[in-house]
């Protein structure tokens, strides 16, 4: 049988639903680098169960029969090392699986700010009764950076509650689902000048590193809020901190960071009007079962010699539409 190794799990019970493939695949588990080094020779399929796992590059020279890697996340930056990029090994990811959950998370952050939820929770904790008025999100406008499947779901959810959306991609183009016309990255400052919400859904590539920098935050309205659910590396965090402390922008919600977990002495923890969450925007309760089901669909395709879904362009770092 075709040999599959699950990197990042120790036993079948940790990967719900994978038992269904036990009769068709020779399945092994590699929870750490040492075990992965032992298991890789002869392995044809690798399932990256821990999407942040960094063990594979050190063991790559042992991958003598590897043909396909399925990475258990939407972002694949953890596994895009040069040897893999240059190889003939096919890389697929969990694109589409987390879209709705992440879109709901973005809306939740927006409502938290508009409806003053953090302030309300603090007042309740202190037993303070303080009347105030809140904002409506209907009629506001969001600039969404990234126009892939997650960004399109964010745009659809925001549109359903009356938020106008503008999409920004690598280059300007037309006919993008949900967005229609899309602005290029070179128009970023012009786009955010009129946005009430700026939402980052960029992949983690060298091209996007610190894309959201001091000049970007200066271009935003002082009443606007910034939300990032893409990759932490896309944000110049000291520049964001300065923008929050100076009042250059009204607030931010970050679910991803350059360093994760966020160090306990990082000044972002105490930044004014910043909501910090621990990279959870896409992880809904049943997502592991759905991730395995998606992987098994590709297993069927692989064993039948059919084209795989969610094939990553390794040079670009994401699945192209």
Residues annotated as catalytic (active site), given as ranges: 231, 260, 279
Over its C-alpha atoms, the chain yields an Rg (Å, rounded) of: 21
Q: Mutual orientation of helices 99-114 and 117-126 as an angle, nearest 10°?
A: 60
Residue 60 burial (10 A CB sphere; 0-12, 13-18, 19+): middle
Give the pairing type, strands 173-176 and 180-184: antiparallel
Pairing verdict, β 173-176 and 141-145: unpaired
C-alpha atoms less than 13 angstroms from C-alpha of 28 in its C-beta half-sphere = 19
Residue 227: Cβ-neighbour burial (10 angstroms; 0-12, 13-18, 19+): buried
Q: Which residue has the tokens 């990029």?
A: 85
**Measuring CA to CA, how many Å separate 109 from each of 17, 99, 190, 229?**
32, 16, 24, 11
34 Cβ contact list (under 8 Å, min separation 6) = none
- Closest to 46 (Cα-Cα) out of 58, 36, 33: 36
Q: Which long-range contacts (CB under 8 A, 24 or more apart) does 114-123 make?
A: 118/275
CA distance 176 to 160: 18
Let me know: does 81 contact 61? Beta carbons within 8 Å. no
Q: What is the DSSP string of 204-264?
A: -SGGGTT-B-HHHHHHS-TT-EEEE-S-GGGB-HHHHHHHHHHTSSSEEEES--SSSSPPT
């Amino acid at each position: 049988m075709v040999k599959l190794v699950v990197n990042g799990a120790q036993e079948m019970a940790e990967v719900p639903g994978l038992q269904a493939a036990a009769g068709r695949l020779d399945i092994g588990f590699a929870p750490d680098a040492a075990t992965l080094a032992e298991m890789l020779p002869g392995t044809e399929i690798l399932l990256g169960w821990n999407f942040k796992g960094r063990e594979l590059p050190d063991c790559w020279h042992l991958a003598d029969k590897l043909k396909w890697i399925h990475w258990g996340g939407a972002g694949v930056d953890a596994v895009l090392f040069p040897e893999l990029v240059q190889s003939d090994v096919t890389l697929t990811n969990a694109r589409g699986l987390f879209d709705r959950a992440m879109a709901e998370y973005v809306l939740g952050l927006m409502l938290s700010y508009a409806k003053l939820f953090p302030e309300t929770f603090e007042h309740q904790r202190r037993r303070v009764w303080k009347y105030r008025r809140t904002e409506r999100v209907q009629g506001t406008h969001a600039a969404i950076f990234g126009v892939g499947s997650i960004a399109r779901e964010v745009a659809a959810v925001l549109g359903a509650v009356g938020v106008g959306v503008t999409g920004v991609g690598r280059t300007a183009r037309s006919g993008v689902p949900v967005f229609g016309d899309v602005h290029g990255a070179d128009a970023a400052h012009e786009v955010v000048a009129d946005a009430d919400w700026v939402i980052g859904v960029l992949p983690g590539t060298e091209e996007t590193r610190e894309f959201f920098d001091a000049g970007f935050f200066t271009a935003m309205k002082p009443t606007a809020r910034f939300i990032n659910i893409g990759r932490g590396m896309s944000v110049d965090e000291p520049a964001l901190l300065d923008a929050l402390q100076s009042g250059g922008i009204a607030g931010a919600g970050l679910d991803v960071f350059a360093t994760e977990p966020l160090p306990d002495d990082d000044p972002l923890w105490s930044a004014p009007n910043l909501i910090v969450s621990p990279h959870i925007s896409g992880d809904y309760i049943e997502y592991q079962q759905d991730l395995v089901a998606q992987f098994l669909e590709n297993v069927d395709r692989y064993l039948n010699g059919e084209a795989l879904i969610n094939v990553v362009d390794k040079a670009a770092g994401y699945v192209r539409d």
